[in-house]
Each structure stands twice: as C-alpha cells, then as structure tokens.
Chain A
Amino acid sequence: MTISEYNQCVDLYSDGLYRFALSLVKLEQDAEDVVQDCFEKMWKKHDEVSFVKAKSYLFTACHHTAIDLLRRKNKLIQIEIEKESDIQENYIQIHGKKNIKEVLFSLLEKLPHAQQSVLLLRDYEGYAYDEIAQITGLSVEQVRVYIFRARMKMREMIGKMENLI
C-alpha cells in the first residue's frame, strides 16, 4: 500500500470506522483513540495489507481494539449479562425516548458485545455474513443467530413502543 492509497483509506473509511467505534465504546475520546490506533496498525503493516483488503483490516482491528478497551474498563462484564429485566427496563425507558432510533440505540447498549458488533457491521457497513464472521472471528452460523436474536429483540421493543403510542 502506497502513501496515497493509505491517505485514500483515511478519507474513505475513517468516518465509518469512527461511527462503528463510537457505537461500541460510547465515548468520543475513546472512539478517536481506537480509530487512530487502527490506522497506525495498518500503516505499520502497509507493505502487507493491500488497498482492496484495507477496509476489512481496519474494521477487524477496530473490533478487537474496542473489545480490548472495553475489557480494560470492565464494561464488558456488565454488557455480557443478558437479563430479562433489561428488556423491561428499556420498556420503561421507552416513554422518555423521542424516536425509534434512540430506542434502538438504547437497546443496542444492552445487547452482548458480539451481537453489537455483528449488528453494526451488518447495518452500518452492509457486510455479508461471511465477511462479518471473518472480521469478528465468529462462524457464519453464529453471525446468523446473533443477527436473528438482535432483530427479534428490536422488533419486540418497537412493537411495544407502537402499542404504547
């Protein structure tokens, strides 16, 4: 990868990568650090990483870096525990939300971290199941199941919200 190709990658993927990281780590400062770290990693291996595979490399690095960051901050422990009460809490919180988007993102925070990554890669970047599996290190079947579960929960939340309205 040449310098111009690398700079092109910055222009093309940094925004998407930042949104992905921000959705995972929640804090802007952390998301900026994650994005910067990813590009630095790619630059160190710019002889090995081709321009075609740069996007996949960046999102893989971002996924792992964000998980490491969350683990360091002990956030992952809280997120991984899936409880029915979470759904109930969200159901109660729906009253305070303005629109469906906010409801979905509040629900996203309650999902297990792997499901969050899978869902974000699918919806934000439009990756196929096998590509998501490659980025996250999961199997294709796992990706399919995670997406199915996430969609079911979201549909449930939106349904309850509409019934309330």
Chain B
Amino acid sequence: MRINKKNIHVYLQQYHLGMLNEADSVELMQFLALHPEYLENEFSLPEINEIFKNKKSLKKPNEIKLINFVEGNLSRVEENLIKALAENDKILEKEIKLFKQARLIPDKSVLFPHKQRLKKKDEIFIFPLIRWAAVLAGILFLGYLFIRLNDNIFRNTQKTTVANKSNGVKSLPSFTNNPIIQTPHDVVQQNQKTAHKKKSKIINSAQSPLTQSPHQPEVERIENSFELTASEPNSIASKEEAVKNNFTSETKISMEDPQVITYHSIESVPVEADTDTSVTSQIMHNVGLLEKMKSEMEKIKIPKPVFFASFREE
C-alpha cells in the first residue's frame, strides 16, 4: 500500500479535488477503514455538489451536428459555436471541409437542347378563330344565295303576270304563266275551271285542219299539262297534288320568304311596260285568231248541191 500516515493528507486533498483515479480511491478507502481517526480530523471527506459547467465547450461535435451544420439546419447560436470550435481545432475544421465537399455541384454547362420543340405557339388559339370565321362565312354565303334566289323568282313571276295581262289571259295552269295564288285550294278551283274552258277551245281549234299553226307542239304540251291538273276533277287531293306539281318552285320558295307569303291577287301586281310575250301567250294569241276565223266561217253560207235538191224534188 502506497498510502501511509505521512502522505495521507496529499491523497485526501487529491480526492477532494476529484483527481484520484479509481484504484487510488479504492486504496484510500481501505486505508481510512484501518485508520478511522483521519476521518474525524480536518481532512474528513466533504460532499461534492459542484458541477463543471463548460462540458459542452469541451465536447467535440458529432457527425450529425456537422452534417446539419453543412446543410444549414442549425440555429445561429449553434453555428457560431461550431465555427468557434473549428477555429481552434484543426481536426474539426478538416472534418467540416470534407462534409462541405460531399455536396453535388450541378454542371451548368449541361443544357436541354430542344427547348424550342417544347414551346407552344399561339397558332393553337388562332385555329378555332379561323374555324369560326369559316362557319360564319358559310352562313353568310348561304344567306346571300337564299336572298338572290328569292329575288329572281319574284321578278320572273312579275314578268309572267304582266305578259299574261297584256295578252288578255288571266291565268293558265302551266308553269310559265302561273298566277300568284291566294291559297292552294283556290288555285285548284280556279285552275280547274280555266283548264276545262281553255282545253276545249284549244283542242277544237288545234284539231281543225284550217287552224294548223307552227305552234302545234306547244299546244300539245299545254294539253298535257291540263291533263296533269284536271285529270281527276272529282278528287280534291289529286287536284292539289297536280297544282303542287305545276307550281313546285314558286310554292316552296314563297312559303319561306315572308314577302311572298302575303298572298295577293293578279290585279295587285304592278303593271310593267314590258310587252315581251312568252311562247304560251303567243299560242293563246293565235288561238284568239283561230276563234275569230271560226266565227267568220260560220257566218258564210255554203249553197247546197243542185243534184241533191233535184233528186229530192223528183
């Protein structure tokens, strides 16, 4: 045993200061057990309550702390503490440097080569506008065609009516000189009456050898048209169909145009100075002449044959 009565006070002092290692402390406790008188004197062991407050400053920061330092996750106080430690500790400084190097640095020279291919152009938004413009243009064109067609038909109707009036013909059930109708049913009735009258006259005059004219084929065509309208005089439905067949174009278009839907009579149509006669009106003019000739021929008295009279007298 190294502890004796001469050096016991040194060991006791070192023990108070906490400088004794574990082996020396054990030896001191054994000596004091043998010599308890040293416990009662001034070198008796006091209670140690004091704590070393600067432990943190002595500790080395661990790896997690260093990584957080490099990542910037620490508070400013902690960062300053590590910086202060690193200034006096070269090993710590080197450790921080290694962690700072362990960061990936992007190569800014590497660029995406096809940026222009990715970009979108404004044409995508212009395309619908073009499409709408095309639709609008189509609608306008159709509207223009509709108005133009109506206008032409109205003019043709006016011309035909004026021509008929100038020739003294009120109405004929043909496509070329069709009167503007009031109602479909009225047209059926009017056409039926007119058709019967004119048909009988024209057929009589056309069949007569004395009334052969260069317009004979036209007379036959009119006759056919009469047959279309008045083939079944007792059936109203068939008459209406016949009328519709003859006036197809005018009837449909006039129903769509509000100006034509307001029906008006022949007399209400303004008279134009145009005296251009259609083929039908010429035929009817010839028919009038033929009728005059027929009436004159009836006035002429043909004398009876003599031999016939004498035979009777005998």
Contact = CB atoms under 8 A, between A and B. Distances in A.
Contacts of B124: 3
Nearest to B104: A123
A130 interface: no
Interface of A: 3, 6-7, 10-11, 14-19, 22-23, 32, 35-36, 39, 43, 100-101, 104-105, 108, 119-120, 122-124, 147-148, 151-152, 154-155, 157-159, 162
B101 interface: yes
22 contacts: A3-B120, A3-B121, A6-B120, A10-B115, A10-B118, A10-B119, A14-B112, A14-B115, A14-B118, A18-B111, A18-B112, A19-B106, A19-B107, A32-B112, A43-B120, A100-B101, A120-B104, A123-B103, A124-B104, A148-B64, A148-B67, A155-B98
B277 to A, nearest CB: 70
Interface of B: 63-64, 67, 70-71, 98-99, 101-107, 110-115, 117-122, 124-125
Contacts of A35: 112, 118
B120 A158 contact: no
A119 B104 contact: yes
Contacts of A122: 71
In the complex, the 5 A-B pairs of residues with the closest C-beta atoms, listed nearest first: A154-B102, A18-B112, A123-B104, A14-B112, A155-B102
Nearest to A116: B104
Given A3-B125, A7-B119, A36-B118, A123 B105 contact: yes
A108 B112 contact: no
Given A10-B119, A18-B112, 18 more contacts: A6-B120, A14-B112, A15-B111, A18-B110, A19-B106, A35-B112, A39-B118, A104-B104, A120-B104, A123-B104, A124-B104, A124-B106, A147-B67, A147-B71, A148-B64, A152-B63, A155-B102, A158-B101
